[in-house]
Amino acid sequence: MSARMNMFTSPIAGKVWKHIIAAGKALESSTLPAATQELVKIRASQINGCGFCLDMHTKDALAAGEDSVRLHLVAAWREATVFTDAERAALELAEQGTRLADGGGVSDEAWANAAKHYDEEQLAALVAAIAIINAFNRGNAIIQQPAGDYQPGQFA
């Protein structure tokens, strides 16, 4: 299986992807916990059905020391006891921010809950992380980017 196109060989797509990648790299200096960032990326990727991003972010999270049980339970975070209240708030914000087309948008309740756990800079990073992963998910889904061959840190 191969992707419909290589986004880095197209002059315009390559420019766009490089900017999106750079935006994601900017989050590395954020005080939003790296584990939270990965959990949010994984949850949005599950919702959007982006195999490539799931492959990448689960492997990167494992390589960074994340517990495999937590990774296996991201899709069922509401019933799982392995996530902190702050992580739950981030996952709820990620779900609502990813499912905008389902109606309702992001509720004031979800925002207020996230604001209880994260300061303004961390909230800004959380919003950016959700937006960026959704952009990656959509692009990868459109071009049918295959999953399974990613190696942790491959794009570092």
Span 23-59, pLDDT tens digits: 999 999 999 999 999 999 999 999 999 999 999 999 9
CA dihedral of 120, 49, 152, 17, whole degrees rounded to 10: -70
Question: What type of residue sits at position 25?
Answer: K
Residue 60 lies in a domain: yes
State pLDDT tens for residues 84-136: 999 999 999 999 999 999 988 999 999 999 999 999 999 999 999 999 999 99
The CATH code of the domain that includes 63 is 1.20.1290.10
Say how many C-beta atoms besides its own lie within 10 A of residue 61's C-beta: 23
Residue 23 lies in a domain: no
Domain count of the fold of the chain = 1
Whether the full predicted model's pTM is greater than 0.75, yes or no, is yes
State pLDDT tens for residues 61-74: 999 999 999 999 99
Residue 74 Cα distances to 35, 81, 90, 96, 125, angstroms: 12, 11, 12, 15, 20
Residues in contact with 48: Cβ distance below 8 Å, sequence separation at least 6, in sequence order:
98, 134, 137, 138, 141
Query: Cα separation of 25 and 153, whole Å?
Result: 13
Query: Cα separation of 48 and 5, whole Å?
Result: 20
Residue 52 lies in a domain: yes
Domain span holding position 39: 32-143
Residue 103 lies in a domain: yes
Residue 9 lies in a domain: no
Residue 24 lies in a domain: no
Residue 25 lies in a domain: no
Residue 12 lies in a domain: no
